[in-house]
């Protein structure tokens, strides 16, 4: 094998490695962009509605407190 | 606190859990520990701190951070930017740069104001792009989001509360600030205000609720605003927005069908949705 052929082979190998690295990088980016599903995403854009009622003295419900934290 | 409730400290507040088995309670504790380690502004090794220090404009987020970031941007959109995740610089400029328990009055004047810039954020999957110098602070949503997530770890009826932000399944009697109580049958309830986390900087009173329009601690007619909504997150976000909107807060909540109670000193103002919700139940 001549020195020119050996250099061509090394260049071709380097090209394949570079192409594979680029493809892998693209794949990783794609996965990062798309792979973010975390079940149902919470949102505050629709605030929903609560169900509140006057307190009942005879209620057996557990007691909690809302306050500024 | 209910007899079967358990409590532990996390995120600088007391977390109360009711209705959880021992395994579920352990899972809830792990959730709060993990979230605090990721989102704390005061831990240099937290993901939030590392992102705020990161020199590149684009950063890769963890799945949990992505989830909270997307939620924070959704909250900003829902409130027209009143609840903004880019106010980390502003809250530090006001002097809130360490755990509140370590915060004292400081003779130095506040730093320069820093306006909210959430519209400059770009989130594509787990890639976040933000302008250089942006300091994120997700505390506007993280605590209440953690409360909702913690309740999902409990299989039966119960509630989770963190520093007074509450999510309920199956009903609970909720004590209100400065007296009174109601029953919350499902959803969440939260209170925001400037009465607790207060300090002085350069002789001027400061608090942690930053108005993104001024980049300074908000000036509001209200001391506290309590809101009930479909989730703790929604209640918390709406309460902050209604506080910042001052006189316009009650109507803003009514436009969204949300019940709110506002306290100004010794005076309480309930919006239409609050009164109608309670009266309908009585009738």
Q: State the Cα–Cα distance between residues B144 and B236, nearest whole angstrom.
A: 7
Taking only residues 155 to 214 of chain B, the set having a beta carbon closer than 8 angstroms to any beta carbon of chain A reads: 158-159, 161-166, 168, 171-177, 181-197
| Domain boundaries defined on chain A | 1-35
Q: What is the ipTM of this complex?
A: 0.84
Q: What is the pLDDT of residue B195?
A: 87
Does B1 reside within a domain? Answer: no
Chain B neighbors of A53, CB-CB under 8 A: 182-183, 185, 277-278, 281
Read off the pLDDT of each residue in B93-111 and give the average, rounded to a whole number. 84
* Residue B267 belongs to domain with CATH number: 3.10.520.10
Taking only residues 72 to 91 of chain B, the set having a beta carbon closer than 8 angstroms to any beta carbon of chain A reads: 74-75, 77-79, 83
Mean residue pLDDT across chain B: 93
| Number of domains comprising chain B | 1
Chain B neighbors of A61, CB-CB under 8 A: 171-173, 183
Tell which wins on pLDDT, B124 or B104: B124
pLDDT at B78 exceeding the cut of 50: yes
Does B32 reside within a domain? Answer: yes
Does B232 reside within a domain? Answer: yes
pLDDT per residue over B136-190, tens digit each? 999 889 999 999 999 999 999 999 999 989 999 999 999 999 899 999 999 999 9
pLDDT at B282 exceeding the cut of 60: no
pTM: 0.85
Q: What percent of chain A has pLDDT over 70?
A: 62
H or E element: which one contains A14?
A: helix A3-34
Read off the pLDDT of each residue in B248-275 and give the average, rounded to a whole number. 96
Q: What is the pLDDT of residue A36?
A: 47
Closest to B10 in 3D by CA, of A64, A69, A42, A67: A69
Mean residue pLDDT across chain A: 74
CA B91 to each of CA A28, B86, B282: distance values in angstroms, whole numbers, following the listed order: 36, 10, 43
pLDDT per residue over B82-93, tens digit each? 999 999 999 888
**Domain extent for B45:** 6-282
């Amino acid at each position: 094998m001549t020195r020119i052929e050996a250099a061509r082979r090394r260049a071709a190998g380097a090209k394949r490695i570079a192409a594979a690295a680029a493809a892998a990088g693209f794949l990783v980016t794609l996965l990062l962009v798309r792979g973010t599903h975390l079940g149902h995403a919470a949102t505050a854009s629709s605030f929903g509605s609560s169900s509140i009622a006057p307190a009942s003295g005879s209620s057996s419900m557990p007691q909690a407190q809302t306050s500024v934290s | 606190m209910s007899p079967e409730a358990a409590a532990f400290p996390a995120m600088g507040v007391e977390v109360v859990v009711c209705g959880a088995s021992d395994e579920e309670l352990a899972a809830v504790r792990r959730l709060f520990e993990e979230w605090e380690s990721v989102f704390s502004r005061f831990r240099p090794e937290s993901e939030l701190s590392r992102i705020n220090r990161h020199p590149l404009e684009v950063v890769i987020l963890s799945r949990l951070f992505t989830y909270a970031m997307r939620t924070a941007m959704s909250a900003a959109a829902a409130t027209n930017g009143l609840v903004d995740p880019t106010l980390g610089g502003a809250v530090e400029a006001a002097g809130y740069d360490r755990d509140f328990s370590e915060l004292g009055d400081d003779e130095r004047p506040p730093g320069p104001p820093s306006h909210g810039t959430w519209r400059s954020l770009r989130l594509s999957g787990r890639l976040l792009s933000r302008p250089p110098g942006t300091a994120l602070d997700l505390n506007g949503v993280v605590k209440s989001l953690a409360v909702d997530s913690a309740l999902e770890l409990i299989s039966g009826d119960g509630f989770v509360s963190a520093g007074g932000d509450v999510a309920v399944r199956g009903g609970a009697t909720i004590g209100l600030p400065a007296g009174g109580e109601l029953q919350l049958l499902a959803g969440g309830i939260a209170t925001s205000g400037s009465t607790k986390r207060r300090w002085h900087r350069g002789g001027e009173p400061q608090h942690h609720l930053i108005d993104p329009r001024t980049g300074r601690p908000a000036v509001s007619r209200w001391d506290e605003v309590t809101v009930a909504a479909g989730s703790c997150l929604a209640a918390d976000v709406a309460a902050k927005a209604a506080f910042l909107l001052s006189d316009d807060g009650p109507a803003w909540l009514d436009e969204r069908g949300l019940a709110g109670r506002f306290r100004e000193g010794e005076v309480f103002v309930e919006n239409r949705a609050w009164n109608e919700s309670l009266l309908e139940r009585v009738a």
